[in-house]
Structure 1
Amino acid sequence: MKRSEHFRGIVIKRLKQAITNWLNHEHPRSELPPVNFSQLLADIRPGDVVLVEGRTRISEVIRVITQSRWTHSALFIGAPATYYGTPLYEQLMRYWSGSPQAPLVLEGLLGQGTVLNPLEQYAGDNLRICRPKGITKDDTQRVIQYAVDALGTEYDFRQLLDLARFLLPWALVPRRWRSTLFEVHAGKHTKTVCSTLIASAFSAVRFPILPHIFKANDGSIRLKARNPKLYTPADFDYSPYFEVLKFPPLPMTQVGLYSELPWEDGVVLDPDNTTPRTDEREKSEDST
């Protein structure tokens, strides 16, 4: 019996690893970067939320579930060296073996869990920065500390499936499977996903993302916090409490500069953004 259970455990482990590898397969980046990464690197601040248009198969799943191009979120921590001499520095360096000068993001990744990675790894990807408006320096540090305390936790793929069941009109998994979205656990979670952890960190300092706003019986305006497990990366983009920063590859730094952009006349792209269509081809197709 023990031998069969051991064999079953090995099979399940290998199957999970195979599925994880398949879901983490990345499509190649576009030839031209969609954002000005050097400008982003110069402007980003610790506590900013980085939204990523992912290129993996798991990103395609999340894109279908959330109906948004933003399939991943990460919290910008900054360079560990900026925290030198503090307990946070020691904590970061236990999970980061690279240079303490490297600007880092904290993120939850399938197959890796909650980890630190260099922001540089996203150079060439489509990115957007969401900056919490008016947050204090002390609360920014508390948000970062909350997230850093979660380093090493596993990625909760089950939560992703449950979120799909909650958001989509059709079920990806059988309804008889018990949802984990509304479970309440004592203490800290042992598993999480990227947007849930970040939402929990901001909720810990009572910074709003997309709260439920209502009028109390006395006529005052009150807020109710949302379940952090229901947040998706796009919610930081939708939130009126976060400033959205974009870094176009061709910056519009002067009035009227758009008129000097190098447009290709007489050519448009098909919906897949890859097939050129000339004016002559459009006229021919319209006449048929």
Structure 2
Amino acid sequence: MSVAAEAEALPGLALAPIGRRLVRFLTQPIPGFLPLATADPEAFRRTLRRGDVVLVEGNTRIATAIKYLTQSTWSHAALYVGPIPGRGESDGEPHALIEADAEHGVVSVPVSKYAASHTRICRPVGLSEGETQKVADFALARIGLSYDLKNIADLLRYLLPTPPVPSRWRRRMIALGAGSPTRAICSTLIAQAFQSVHYPILPSPESIEHAMRVLSSAQSGDAARYRLDEIRHIRHYSLFTPRDFDISPYFAIVKPTIEIGFDYKKVDWARLDADPPALNPPSP
């Protein structure tokens, strides 16, 4: 049976043999592709605060499908909750991130897992310490839930080969999965955590009605209506993707290099040993 056929017959149990085979296939790295890390690992670690959403550019088969459907660099998201008592690596590094992993379900992991990856830190603004802790507690309480393998089975359909899917349908194709309260996908888990304290991720339809009316004067009415319908459609937590935290007007983008004190005057540019050749004068 082909992998695609197995996806159609995928049972609902996370530990089913077919499910395990499918997960192993989709979580394999793509040979020769390694996203470039843009921040120093130590700067990345020092910059993180409780409640930060860490977006990751993955290099696996499932990451390829997510990036295609969302037309985004980001294929995965994790929530920073701070060092978790009793959870850590054998070398003593504490676990501080919560994520929904296709192979292991909702788990805690150390920051070092993504320190060398291409990442983006998205920080909520205005939450009190107590509210931030509630967001963290929401995610912590879900450690051990299984990953929604129905989501993986559906994503597989858009991997081999990559289909010419119209952009207006891609968002709805991400609204996959069984919807079980005992299962999760990465961005769904984090969206639920923030919605538990009524923190928005994308604007409500009411707040952009005026903007859409202005927009409609510059482009077709159909295009303006589509944009409004799109935002209305993705408000439910099951429809959020990693990209939404990046474009959200309610999350600040935090750059570790800048946060730790960037001074462009201290950049040590590579210099040529020899003087550059003189430019030839223009011919008369």
| TM more than 0.5 | yes
Question: Is the 8 Å Cα contact of residues 77 and 103 (structure 1) preserved in structure 2?
Answer: no
The answer on 1:228 being equivalent to 2:232 is no
Question: Gaps spanning 5+ residues in structure 1: where?
Answer: 1-7, 82-92, 173-178, 216-222, 265-288
1:283 matched residue in structure 2: none
Question: Is the 8 Å Cα contact of residues 80 and 101 (structure 1) preserved in structure 2?
Answer: no
Matches within 5 A, 1:155-170: 155-159=147-151, 168-169=165-166
In the alignment, the residues of structure 2 paired with residue 58 and residue 33 of structure 1 have an alpha-carbon distance, to the nearest angstrom, of 20
Question: Is the 8 Å Cα contact of residues 35 and 118 (structure 2) preserved in structure 1?
Answer: no
2:199 matched residue in structure 1: 207
Matches within 5 A, 1:56-205: 56-81=60-85, 93=86, 96=87, 98=89, 102-159=94-151, 168-169=165-166, 189-205=181-197
Question: Is the 8 Å Cα contact of residues 108 and 194 (structure 1) preserved in structure 2?
Answer: yes
**Which letter does structure 2 place at the counterpart of 1:24?**
T
Q: CA offsets, 1:164-204, max 9 Å, x none?
A: 99xx53899xxxxxx767x8x8xx81111010110011011
Question: Is the 8 Å Cα contact of residues 29 and 125 (structure 1) preserved in structure 2?
Answer: no
Match of 2:263 among 238, 242, 254: 254
Equivalenced residue count is 228
Q: Per the alignment, do residues 31 and 228 of structure 1 end up closer, same or farther by CA in structure 2, a change over 3 Å counting?
A: closer
The answer on 1:16 being equivalent to 2:19 is yes
Question: Is the 8 Å Cα contact of residues 35 and 117 (structure 2) preserved in structure 1?
Answer: no
1:53 matched residue in structure 2: 57
What is the TM-score when the length of structure 1 is the normalising length?
A: 0.66
1:26 matched residue in structure 2: 29
Deviation at 1:18, TM superposition (A): 1.6
**Which letter does structure 1 place at the counterpart of 2:67?**
R
Question: Is the 8 Å Cα contact of residues 153 and 192 (structure 1) preserved in structure 2?
Answer: yes
Deviation at 1:210, TM superposition (A): 0.2
Deviation at 1:209, TM superposition (A): 0.7
SS in 2 for 1:39: helix
Question: Gaps spanning 5+ residues in structure 2: where?
Answer: 1-9, 159-164, 170-174, 208-230, 273-284
In the alignment, the residues of structure 2 paired with residue 34 and residue 263 of structure 1 have an alpha-carbon distance, to the nearest angstrom, of 22
RMSD: 4.1
Deviation at 1:103, TM superposition (A): 4.4
Which structure has more relative contact order (CA 8 Å, sep 6+)? It is: 2
Q: Per the alignment, do residues 47 and 132 of structure 1 end up closer, same or farther by CA in structure 2, a change over 3 Å counting?
A: same
Question: Is the 8 Å Cα contact of residues 50 and 73 (structure 1) preserved in structure 2?
Answer: yes
What is the TM-score when the length of structure 2 is the normalising length?
A: 0.67
Deviation at 1:240, TM superposition (A): 1.0
SS in 1 for 2:199: coil
Q: CA offsets, 1:16-52, max 9 Å, x none?
A: 2222111111246759743212111111111111111
Deviation at 1:160, TM superposition (A): 5.5
1:85 matched residue in structure 2: none
Deviation at 1:77, TM superposition (A): 1.4
Q: Per the alignment, do residues 206 and 125 of structure 1 end up closer, same or farther by CA in structure 2, a change over 3 Å counting?
A: same
**Which letter does structure 2 place at the counterpart of 1:23?**
L
SS in 2 for 1:78: coil
In the alignment, the residues of structure 2 paired with residue 252 and residue 199 of structure 1 have an alpha-carbon distance, to the nearest angstrom, of 31
